[in-house]
Amino acid sequence: MTRVLPDRRGGERDATRRGASSTGSTAAPLGGAGPRRELTELLDRYADAFARADLAAVAACHVTPVLFVTEWDSTVFSSAREVAEGFRRVVDDHRARRFVTLTHRIETVSAASRIVEVGVRWTFHDGQGRPLRHDRYRYVLRRVDDRGLLINAVVVLGGSPVAAP
């Protein structure tokens, strides 16, 4: 695992803010309207970028180095380019499964001054808006002075198909 000291600056950490916002979230309380709105805006921006397969915008939602943990492996991406390339296969897989849009539901939040830990359930929808799959993730977000909250670590907790009505 790569260790970064708190006062280290450079690379992706200092890049300008990017990404369009979108809607479709359900948020649990987070201390104050400002922080809750900021968290929801980040997840909306991420969902929009993912649905559009805009890998640069997906990468812009992260601060590097970023750690991804699954039940099979752990990976550290050290640059925005590595994050974008890491998501290429995932986005292609979701498109092949006919997932067109995604929405999020914030399930848990724990915050310190510059770190937010959040549990999120993502729901992937088809072209008619029908939910097809739920996936759960745990994120560690870090506040970056000129960019706000960004994803710094991801733990993939798994998912399941949505039962047909």
The predicted-structure confidence for 102-156, as pLDDT tens digits, reads as follows: 999 999 999 988 999 999 999 999 999 999 999 999 999 999 988 999 999 999 9
Q: Under CATH, to which class is 22-161 assigned?
A: alpha beta
Q: Give tens-digit pLDDT for 34-90.
A: 678 899 999 999 999 999 999 999 999 999 999 999 999 999 999 999 999 999 999
Listed in sequence order, the residues at least 6 apart from 156 whose beta carbon sits closer than 8 Å to its beta carbon are 68, 69, 70, 71, 135, 137
Q: Report the range of poorest mean pLDDT among 2-11, 42-51, 88-97.
A: 2-11
Q: pTM score, two decimals? A: 0.77
